[in-house]
A and B are shown apart, each in its own frame.
Chain A
Amino acid sequence: MTSLPEQAPKTKLGLVIDLDICVGCQACAVHCKEWNIAGHSGPLPDNEPYGADPSGVWFNRIHTFELVDDETGDSRTVYFPKSCLHCEDAPCVTVCPTGASYKREEDGIVLVNADTCIGCKLCSWACPYGAREYDDDEGVMKKCTLCIDRIYNETLPEDTRVPACVSTCPAGARHFGDLGDPESEVSLLVAARGGYDLMPEQGTKPVNQYLPPRPKKVPAEPLAAPRLTRDDDPGEAGLLARWVDKMLSR
């Protein structure tokens, strides 16, 4: 059924991505691909990975943006990971003609059923965020599964039952949890840091939240570069060196 669940899911599993911390190392993208190539929606196409024209499906992509303040000319670089936001009002789900795209009632995860997808691609047109990539080999649509095969996987040690991208981030820029529970760690983090929606005007109500980069710390006094040479100040040199300096400086 591609209508959204009648009861909006109470549990809203999703990610919180901290743009202040992300260093753009791509580790989450690589681990996402590595896990999912054999996961719920695997295999993922991976053509000519070391060739001249590589192509393939990835669920997580890291963009790099520069924000330039028009007035001060001040600029900052922001690394920007993007994967499915598991939207509450997911347009990708309602446009699907077959029911292959669906939103789970129990936890709000948006998935594609590869056995019923006809590969019409309409869902990828409907997603404003570019979170769906078409698998040419299998003729079906693919997307982030929120690592459904990790987070509920009882064969994994309990503390590792988090999405691959979250587990792997060396900087701790990705968090996973229930954004429907206002007391959850992720909800408290979002509240404390002012988490926000991407493209709220598209009306998708994304579950995933982004945490803004913290304000840049600008020192009150401009820092002077440390002196590298001491040609004008022999004060700290030894007695002999000072005498030579004095003789030669005449």
Chain B
Amino acid sequence: MHPAKSVIFFTTASGAGYGLLFWLGLYGSLGLLPAGAWFAVVGFGLALILVTAGLISSTFHLGHPERAWRALSQWRSSWLSREGVAAIVTYVPAGLYGLAWLIVGSGTGWMVILGLLTALACVATVICTSMIYGSLKAIPAWHTGWTPAAYLVFAAMSGAVLLSLLGHLWRLPTVLVTDITALVAIAAGALVKFGYWHAIARAAPTSTAESATGLGTAATATRGKVRLIDPPHTMDNYLLTEMGYRVARKHATVLRDIVWAAAFVLPLGCVFVALLAAGVGGMVFATLAVLSMAVGLAIERWLFFAEAKHVVTLYYGESAA
């Protein structure tokens, strides 16, 4: 699949934003973030900017951005529509919760409800985003339970690294909790990515050039292998530029290594050092963790698209997908 820059930015940025909002909602409600108005301004500000920038960038690849509002109408059947609705609904508890925090500080009685609602709305929105991809049977590498798992855990992980940075910047007494949260989330993220890559490497093909044409199958009472000898058009068409994108295997291997290093190993090391260093050293290493992960997740998302094979390629010379 063609990795569109706007979609890569959208899913990684809004993922990190929802992740941060989730932790603010959950840990704020649990009284684990004893901080005042400025923390609320920066924390909620950063999360909402990431989320909003992501959503806006996702409209860049539309043919008719001015009609984007129409996408809210089909939530009964369409995950893309559900995502739009969930994203807008999330602003309500998140905005109220951030405002309340600004005014009365974190963690007081009735605010817990708003905090938990915010966390829940974030989970729902990220699930909807992931299911846009996970529901597509025609792209077998996405049509698996690993897709929602990956989107959820990467949102939690990138949000946790941001929270850990905030914890260091504000020298929160609970910085140990936010650092350990980040470490656990990164470890979980690495496990899920490993599981995903392992699963797609082992998965039996869903469709083949034979099932796509019926030739060489029982349907036509024939035997053998199908080979494309003449494509229907001499130049690439929309289908091939959009769905036929393939990353060279050797590049994929190198890029996967970079993802391992930048999205998981380095941030894990940095957060660990930050945890030990505290003070200014803690701030520096927590920042490095955030930067490294941003690069790592962008490449991870690029690969998620570039490595996924669409079954339409079976009509264009691929033998299995």
- Specify which of B138, B219, B223 is in contact with A69 (CB 8 Å cutoff): B223
CB distance from B301 to the nearest CB of A (A): 16
Query: In whole angstroms, what is the CA distance A202 to B311 when docked?
Result: 10
What class of interface size applies to chain B in its complex with A? Answer: 35 or more
Chain A residues, CB < 8 A from B71: 97-98, 118, 120
A201, B140: Cα distance in complex, Å: 12
CA distance A202 to B235 in the complex (A): 28
Query: CA of A152 to CA of B220 in the docked complex: distance in angstroms?
Result: 33
Selecting from B167-175, B207-215, B253-261, the interface stretch reads: B207-215
Tell me whether B63 and A213 are in contact (CB under 8 A): no
Partner of B215, one of A24, A65, A99, A116: A65
A42 within 8 Å of B (CB atoms): no
Using Cβ atoms and an 8 Å threshold, which residues of chain A touch B312? 127-130
- Those of A31-79 within 8 Å (CB) of chain B: 53-58, 61-71, 74, 77-78
B214, A210: Cβ atoms under 8 Å?
yes
Given A57-B238, A130-B243, A3 contacting B213 (CB threshold 8 A): no
* A177 contacts chain B at the CB level, 8 A cutoff: no
Are B212 and A198 closer than 8 Å at their CB atoms? yes
Complex interface: stretch among A133-141, A158-166, A167-175, A223-231: A133-141
B74–A124 CB distance below 8 A = no
Are B62's CB and A97's CB within 8 A? no
Task: Decide: B243 and A215 in contact? CB cutoff 8 A.
Answer: no
Query: Are A117 and B74 in contact, with the CB atoms below 8 A?
Result: no
Q: Which residues of chain B from 30 to 84 have a CB within 8 Å of any chain A CB?
A: 61-65, 67-68, 70-74, 76-81, 84
The one of A66, A128, A197 that contacts B138, using a Cβ cutoff of 8 Å: A128
Q: Is the CB of A64 within 8 A of B243?
A: no
Inter-chain contacts of A116 with B (CB < 8 A): 67, 70
| Min C-beta distance of A216 to chain B, whole Å | 9
Report Cα–Cα, A117/B238, bound state, in Å: 17
Inter-subunit contact A67/B222 (CB<8 Å) = yes
Cβ of B80 and Cβ of A68 under 8 Å apart?
no
A127, A128, A130, A196: the one within 8 Å of B219 (CB): A196
**Among A119, A121, A199, which residue has its beta carbon within 8 angstroms of that of B212?**
A199
Q: Which of A95, A119, A198 contacts B62 (CB 8 A)?
A: A119
Shortest CB-to-CB span from B13 to chain A, Å, is: 18
The answer to the question of B109 belonging to the interface, with a C-beta cut-off of 8 Å to chain A, is: no
Does A234 make an interface contact (CB < 8 A)?
A: no
Decide yes or no whether B139 CB sits under 8 A from chain A. Answer: yes
Q: Is A243's beta carbon under 8 Å from chain B?
A: no
User: Do the beta carbons of B243 and A124 come within 8 Å of each other?
Assistant: yes
A216's nearest neighbour on chain B, judged by CB, is: B222
Determine the chain A residues whose CB is within 8 A of the CB of B224 once the complex forms.
Answer: 67-70, 74
Inter-subunit contact A2/B78 (CB<8 Å) = yes
How many A-B residue pairs have C-beta atoms within 8 angstroms? Tell me: 208
Complex interface: chain A residues within 8 A of B215 (CB): 65, 67, 78, 213
How far is it, in angstroms, between the C-alpha of A198 and the C-alpha of B314 when the chains are bound? 12
Shortest CB-to-CB span from B132 to chain A, Å, is: 7
**A1 and B74 contact, Cβ closer than 8 Å, known pairs A118-B63, A138-B63:** yes
Contacts of A108 on B, CB cut-off 8 Å? none
Q: Does B315 contact A (CB under 8 A)?
A: yes
CA–CA, A62 to B212, complex, Å?
Answer: 14
Chain B residues whose C-beta falls within 8 Å of the C-beta of A55 in the assembled complex: 235-237
Residues in chain A near residue B72, CB distance under 8 A: 97
Which chain B residues border A78 with CB–CB below 8 Å?
A: 213, 215
Q: Which residues of B contact A198 (CB under 8 A)?
A: 211-214
- Residues in A whose Cβ lies below 8 Å from that of B237: 55-56, 58, 133
CA distance A140 to B293 in the complex (A): 36
**Chain A residue with the shortest CB-CB distance to B227:** A66
Assuming A63-B228, A80-B213, is B137 touching A134 (CB within 8 A)? no
A63 and B230 within 8 A (CB): yes
How far apart are B224's CB and chain A's nearest CB, in angstroms? 4
Write 12 A-B pairs (CB below 8 A) sorted by A numbering: A68-B227, A78-B213, A82-B232, A97-B84, A99-B70, A124-B239, A125-B310, A134-B242, A140-B64, A198-B213, A199-B207, A212-B222
Task: Please list the residues of chain A having a beta carbon within 8 angstroms of any beta carbon in chain B.
Answer: 1-4, 19, 24, 29, 53-58, 61-71, 74, 77-78, 80, 82, 91, 93-100, 116-122, 124-130, 133-136, 138-140, 194, 196-203, 210, 212-213, 215
Q: State the 3 A-B residue pairs at the shortest beta-carbon distance, nearest first.
A: A119-B63, A139-B63, A212-B220
